[in-house]
């Protein structure tokens, strides 16, 4: 993740000096060698007086690095989430608002060209009255045990992107969640109180139904697919053609496409567009494209989804800790 952001950030025309900060300086140097930057220890990152900071560390380190950036007056792009805790997320959002330091949260799907085209159809009215959304989010391969232990639940780690996508596409808030999840193939998730397949029904404040499915394994490759049905059109976005199930209908054709191994190759263009949009917004003096509040709002939905799954009931989205 850090390497991806380093390459995309370093390619921006306004970037003249790229620092790669890490606790493992040798590893940071490897990223620096690939991106044309220079490596420093993470403890020395802000003493080098950067103009901008991009945080692509493990989630547990995000809150403190955001605090450091704000205290030094440094605008920051932080990968989702800004924190795994609702109270701490509220604290960080408040700090950004009170100080005016730009904090952008990394929800790269907002910058995927296909997703943006669907959003334009919604906001400009060409889709008509929106009837429903359907989102598929499937990993190519299950994570290793070490990652699962520190990733949070599937609802917080994977589906938080889908929850943000719903808010961004519709301009509405999710008010209710009905979530189910289980382990169908990989017991390592059960060992950490997590699941490897999910299905969710979300309801927005206008009553719009949204269906979301997720899995930690897809033999056809990494997949994020969106379908939007409205009174004026039915539109889709994502890599549906790359991993679409093989049709068995008589005479149907199945086209083979390159397999996506993960989010880095699937969203390579989106990562670049997002990083550049953040830097361009700073240059213009504009607010960050995806403010820290978006992380808090998506986490609130994730917490409600966890509550629904655990209790076996529909859950209202409320600003409270799990």
Query: Structural domains in the chain?
Result: 2-108+272-291 (3.40.50.720), 110-266+297-316 (3.30.360.10)
Q: What is the SS3 assignment for 244-273?
A: CCCCCCCCCCCCCCCCCCCHHHHCHHHHHH
Q: How do the pLDDT tens digits run along the chain, 322 residues long?
A: 778 888 888 888 889 889 899 998 989 889 888 888 889 899 999 988 999 999 999 899 999 999 999 999 999 999 999 999 999 999 999 999 999 999 999 999 999 999 999 999 999 999 999 999 999 999 999 999 988 988 889 999 999 999 999 999 999 999 999 999 999 999 999 999 999 999 999 999 999 999 999 999 999 899 999 999 999 999 999 865 566 677 788 988 777 677 899 999 999 999 999 999 999 999 999 999 999 999 999 999 999 999 999 999 999 998 555 4
pLDDT value, residue 8: 84
At residue 10, the pLDDT reads 82
Rounded to an integer, what distance in angstroms lies between the CA atom of residue 119 and that of residue 64? 34
Q: Measured in Å, how far apart are the chain's first and last C-alpha atoms?
A: 28
| Beta pairing, strands 209-215 & 197-204 | antiparallel
Q: Are 248 and 80 in contact (CB under 8 A)?
A: no
Quote the distance between the C-alpha of residue 92 and its chain's center: 18
As a whole number of angstroms, the distance between CA 301 and CA 67 comes to: 24
Unique residue bearing structure tokens 């991993």: 243
- The distance from CA 65 to its chain's CA centroid, rounded to whole angstroms, is 19
Burial category of 255 from C-beta neighbours within 10 Å (exposed 0-12, middle 13-18, buried 19 and up)? exposed
pLDDT of residue 11: 86
| Model pTM score | 0.93
Provide the pLDDT for residue 7: 81
User: Nearest Cα to 258, choosing from 223, 228, 284, 306?
Assistant: 223
What distance in Å separates the CA atoms of residue 16 and residue 10, rounded to the nearest whole number?
Answer: 8
Number of Cβ within 10 Å of residue 16's Cβ equals 8
What pLDDT score was predicted for residue 264?
Answer: 92
What is the spatial distance between Cα 116 and Cα 120, in angstroms, rounded to a whole number?
A: 6
Q: Output the pLDDT for position 312.
A: 96
**Exposed, middle or buried, 313 (CB in 10 Å: 0-12/13-18/19+)?**
exposed
Q: What's the rounded Cα separation, in Å, for the pair 185 and 196?
A: 7
What integer pLDDT is reported at residue 320 of this predicted model?
A: 53
Contacts of the segment 197-203: beta carbons below 8 A, 24+ positions apart = 198/154, 198/155, 198/159, 198/309, 200/159, 200/305, 201/177, 202/163, 202/166, 202/174, 202/176, 202/177, 202/301, 203/174, 203/175, 203/176, 203/177
């Amino acid at each position: 993740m850090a390497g991806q952001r380093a390459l995309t950030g370093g390619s921006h025309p306004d970037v003249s000096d790229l620092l790669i900060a890490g606790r493992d300086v040798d590893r940071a140097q490897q990223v620096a060698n690939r991106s044309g930057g220079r490596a420093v220890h993470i403890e020395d990152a802000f003493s080098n007086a950067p103009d901008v900071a991009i945080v692509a560390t493990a989630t547990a380190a995000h809150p403190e690095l955001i605090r450091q950036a704000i205290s030094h007056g440094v605008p920051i792009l932080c990968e989702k989430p800004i924190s795994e805790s609702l109270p701490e997320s509220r604290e960080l959002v408040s700090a950004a608002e009170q100080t005016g330091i730009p904090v952008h949260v990394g929800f790269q799907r907002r910058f995927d060209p296909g997703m943006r085209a669907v959003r334009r159809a919604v906001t400009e009215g060409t889709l008509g009255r929106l009837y429903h959304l359907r989102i598929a989010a499937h990993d190519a391969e299950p994570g290793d045990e070490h990652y699962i232990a520190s990733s949070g639940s599937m609802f917080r780690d994977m589906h938080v992107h889908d929850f943000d996508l719903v808010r961004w596409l519709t301009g509405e808030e999710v008010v209710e969640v009905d979530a189910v999840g289980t382990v169908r193939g990989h017991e390592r998730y059960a060992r950490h109180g997590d699941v490897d397949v999910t299905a969710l029904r979300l309801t927005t404040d206008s009553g719009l139904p949204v269906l979301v499915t997720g899995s930690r394994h897809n033999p056809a490759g990494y997949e994020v697919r969106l379908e939007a049905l409205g009174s004026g059109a039915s539109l889709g976005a994502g890599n549906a053609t790359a991993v679409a199930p093989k049709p068995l209908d008589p005479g149907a054709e199945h086209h083979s496409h390159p397999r996506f191994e993960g989010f880095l190759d699937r969203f390579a263009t989106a990562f670049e567009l997002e990083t550049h949009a953040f830097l361009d917004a700073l240059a213009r003096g504009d607010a960050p494209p995806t403010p820290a509040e978006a992380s808090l709002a998506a986490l609130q939905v994730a917490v409600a989804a966890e509550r629904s799954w655990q209790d076996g009931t529909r859950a209202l989205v409320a600003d409270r800790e799990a």
